[in-house]
Structure 1
Amino acid sequence: MPYAFSLDDVAFLRSAEGERVLAECAALDASRIADVEKARRIAGDRAAAVLETVLLRRKAGAKLDAAENWLFTGDALQQASASAVARHRASRLTGRDVHDVTCSIGADLVELARVAGRALGSDVDEVRLAMARHNCPDVPLVRADALRPVSRGAVVIADPARRDAKGRRWRPEDFAPPLDQLAEAYAGRDLAVKCSPGLDWAALPWADEVELVSLDGQVREACLWTGDLATAARRATVLRTDGPQWTITSDEPDDVGAGEPGEWIIDPDGAVVRAGLVKHYGARHGLWQLDERIAYLTGDTPPPGVRAFRVVEHGPYSEKTLRALLKRHDVGRLEILVRGLDVDPDALRKRLKLRGDADATVVLTRIGRAPVTFLCQAVRIPLR
């Protein structure tokens, strides 16, 4: 169970003495008995809060920028947007007055405050709000229920809780606060709601735009935009820490069909797939589908900056024919990609008992009702 911070814990951690103790314990490891004993000697009855904070700060380094001195709860850090994702969302609100009504420990709020005309944060959780005062010292904060508006005119940002003691919540009505109640509370105001990327958007007719966001190839979250904030029905935004970001919307052409395999197979970014924009992405880059119901694209020129798969050989799929194909090409290390077939890549790899020296990628899919194998070489396409 994660440590449950109290207001007294937060007050101590924010104090000069708390900062000294945290610095002294920064290198300790809570999994080592000797380090726990040392923390108790240094921090006394605050040792558990100190060690938890040290652990959370280490975890935060992979997710948040410049948060080495922040305060967190475990659940708040888990739900916080990565800084790159929060920055992207904030960029759509440049110059607007913004009220983050579920500000938690302030991961989104700190990015909003940098670009907003004015920024305000509120939360019903006193402990998280106290941590936000430490993490965002220049932003005004108030304690308030997100379903009881305390501001006027500002854009409303919300990040409802998606976990409880039983685990992750999947139904919009089970979020805290529930999504429909949130939309009703701020009817007539521009609203942006961060939520899970796997939600059924058709059940949320008040959302004027659904944006799926990925970071470094992993779909991180969705954001529902309303009113003047919405500029397309569906949007996919692809962010990278080592390259440029790009976006595609449902307003772009989608006039691609299915055809014979080209020289390359393209597996579109997960944000594009979840946003239902595979055809739009194909049309942008001169690609077409192998099958209109499958998200793989194909073509003779891959898009820049992607990991694409050059087709070496393809034909009907069965384990027997695949095993023979891999043996013929001396494949011993194999990446398996699957869409449209009931195949477990890990289980299949074990059954294949590979013995060769070459690396390869195999794409397993179907065209119509026929299962198909594509033996490929993975290539990182440079940016033009």
Structure 2
Amino acid sequence: MPYAFTLDDVAFLRSADGARALAAVAALPLTGRVADVAAVRKLVGERFAPVLETVLLRRKGKLDPNWLYTSDALQQASVPPVARHRAARLAGRDVHDVTCSIGADLAELGRIARRCVGSDLDPVRLAMARHNCPDVPVVRADALKPVTRNAVIVADPARRDSAGRRTWRPADFAPPLDALAEVYAGRDLAVKCAPGLDPAAVPWAAEIELVSLDGQVREACVWSAGLATARRRATVLRSDGSRWTVTDRDPDDVGAAAPGEWIVDPDGAVVRAGLVKHYAARHGLWQLDERIAYLTGHTPPPGVRAFRVAEHGHYQEKSLRTLLRARGVGRLEILVRGLDVDPDALRKRLKLTGAEEATVVLTRIGRTPHFFLCRAERVPR
């Protein structure tokens, strides 16, 4: 069970004595064994539990290593590049983060908004936010009882039930999405959600944006009418600071045709946003099948990991095994869309022993299963 911080814990961690205790424990190797508790207790005394928990959370490396956070708050917090991107859309505005928690979004909003305030009901998280975001005012307030006027409302509802289990029903969020939309009707509203959000659950949303970072889909953000610039958007971020976006306003006049020299698996944000055709049109690609997200073409987009096709044909496990053994393939990446194939189970059944490595893309074209034997390559920017 995660440690339950108290206000007294936070006050100690923010003090000079707390800073010394954190520094001392941070110097320990901390193997994850029971002996760690005894070692930390010996080093810092009865305050060992909040100090040990804080050091362990900081070692996860998700946020600023000098911050304070609880385990649950850290799990839900946006990583800085994603929070920074969302904040950039609100530059120069007055912003109220009504579920500020420990301040992950608040920190980025505070750097770019004209004026910014954070609020939350949890007094412990508010105390941590005051430490993490010293230049942004925070107050205790219920997100469903407005305490500001005219500011853009930013919210990140908790997505766990009273037992701590993850919930996917927007009505079970805290606060519920519909309640937020009702309370702030007529005001600009941006709500962070899980990437699996069903658009039908937010009929009031004018834009749904899917955001990925380094190939991993991180979140969806729902934007009200005053903030929307498209109906659907996919934003792809990289840790090097680069980013690009595609929306449903981009052309989508592509269809399906015979395979080209490359297979491209679009970023997950593009797929989840339903913008595969728009992405394909931008880069001169087309689909293998109009119901499958794999794209193909003669020139892959810059900066992506694409798959140069060496051989393709109708897929049968036995014939694929024969081909791979003939080519000396022993290390095989298996990508699947549209077929009921478990990559791990298939890899075991193939029993490959060669020295070469390859990627096989398994999909269907129409009703026919196909394979594409490929070499994965990182395309230069």
**Which of 154, 158, 179 is matched with 1:181 structurally?**
179
Q: 1:76 matched to which residue of 2? A: 73
Question: d(CA) in 1 for partners of 2:300 and 2:241?
Answer: 17
Q: What is the CA distance between 1:166 and its match in structure 2? A: 4.5
Question: What residue identity is the alignment partner of 1:22?
Answer: L
Question: What residue identity is the alignment partner of 2:264?
Answer: I
- Does the alignment pair 1:129 with 2:130? no
Q: What is the CA distance between 1:35 and its match in structure 2? A: 3.2
TM-score by length of 2: 0.98
Question: d(CA) in 2 for partners of 1:14 and 1:345?
Answer: 49
Question: d(CA) in 2 for partners of 1:380 and 1:316?
Answer: 27
- Does the alignment pair 1:100 with 2:97? yes
Q: 1:352 matched to which residue of 2? A: 350
Kindly indicate whether the alpha-carbon contact (under 8 Å) linking 1:30 and 1:51 is maintained by their aligned counterparts in 2: no
**Which of 194, 197, 200 is matched with 1:196 structurally?**
194
Q: 1:19 matched to which residue of 2? A: 19
Q: 159-168 or 312-321, which moves further after superposition?
A: 159-168
Question: d(CA) in 1 for partners of 2:242 and 2:9?
Answer: 41
SS of the residue 2:370 aligns to: strand
**Which of 265, 268, 274 is matched with 2:272 structurally?**
274
Q: 1:4 matched to which residue of 2? A: 4
Question: What residue identity is the alignment partner of 1:207?
Answer: A
1:86-110 per-residue CA deviation (whole Å, 9 max, x = no partner) reads 0000110110010000000001000
Question: d(CA) in 1 for partners of 2:233 and 2:212?
Answer: 11
- Does the alignment pair 1:31 with 2:51? no
Kindly indicate whether the alpha-carbon contact (under 8 Å) linking 1:30 and 1:36 is maintained by their aligned counterparts in 2: no
C-alpha RMSD over aligned residues: 1.0
Change in CA separation of 1:145 and 1:47 when aligned onto 2, cut-off 3 Å: same
Q: 1:57 matched to which residue of 2? A: 58
Question: What residue identity is the alignment partner of 1:374?
Answer: F
Q: What is the CA distance between 1:30 and its match in structure 2? A: 6.5
1:7-65 per-residue CA deviation (whole Å, 9 max, x = no partner) reads 11111111111111111111231623443222112322211110000001111x2x22x
- Structure 1 runs not aligned, ≥5 long: none
Change in CA separation of 1:325 and 1:243 when aligned onto 2, cut-off 3 Å: farther
Question: What residue identity is the alignment partner of 2:261?
Answer: E
Question: d(CA) in 2 for partners of 1:278 and 1:364?
Answer: 18
Q: What is the CA distance between 1:227 and its match in structure 2? A: 2.3
Question: d(CA) in 2 for partners of 1:160 and 1:35?
Answer: 34
Question: What residue identity is the alignment partner of 1:112?
Answer: L
Question: What residue identity is the alignment partner of 2:79?
Answer: A
Question: d(CA) in 2 for partners of 1:339 and 1:238?
Answer: 21
Q: 2:225 matched to which residue of 1? A: 227
SS of the residue 2:59 aligns to: helix
1:183-212 per-residue CA deviation (whole Å, 9 max, x = no partner) reads 111100000000011011122110100000
Q: 1:339 matched to which residue of 2? A: 337
Question: d(CA) in 1 for partners of 2:41 and 2:355?
Answer: 53
Change in CA separation of 1:110 and 1:351 when aligned onto 2, cut-off 3 Å: same
SS of the residue 2:226 aligns to: helix
**Which of 299, 307, 310 is matched with 2:308 structurally?**
310
Question: d(CA) in 1 for partners of 2:69 and 2:241?
Answer: 29
Q: What is the CA distance between 1:243 and its match in structure 2? A: 5.4
Q: 1:248 matched to which residue of 2? A: 246
Question: d(CA) in 1 for partners of 2:197 and 2:270?
Answer: 15
Change in CA separation of 1:243 and 1:378 when aligned onto 2, cut-off 3 Å: farther
Q: 2:209 matched to which residue of 1? A: 211
Q: 271-280 or 7-16, which moves further after superposition?
A: 7-16
- Structure 2 runs not aligned, ≥5 long: none
Question: What residue identity is the alignment partner of 1:45?
Answer: E
Question: d(CA) in 1 for partners of 2:267 and 2:332?
Answer: 21
1:343-379 per-residue CA deviation (whole Å, 9 max, x = no partner) reads 1100100010001111100000000000000000001
Question: What residue identity is the alignment partner of 1:86?
Answer: A
Percentage identity across aligned positions?
A: 76
- Does the alignment pair 1:140 with 2:137? yes
1:137-180 per-residue CA deviation (whole Å, 9 max, x = no partner) reads 11111001111111100000000001232521101101111100
Question: d(CA) in 2 for partners of 1:18 and 1:244?
Answer: 38
SS of the residue 2:118 aligns to: strand
SS of the residue 1:228 aligns to: coil
Question: What residue identity is the alignment partner of 1:311?
Answer: V
Question: d(CA) in 2 for partners of 1:87 and 1:351?
Answer: 45
Question: d(CA) in 2 for partners of 1:38 and 1:378?
Answer: 48
- Does the alignment pair 1:47 with 2:48? yes
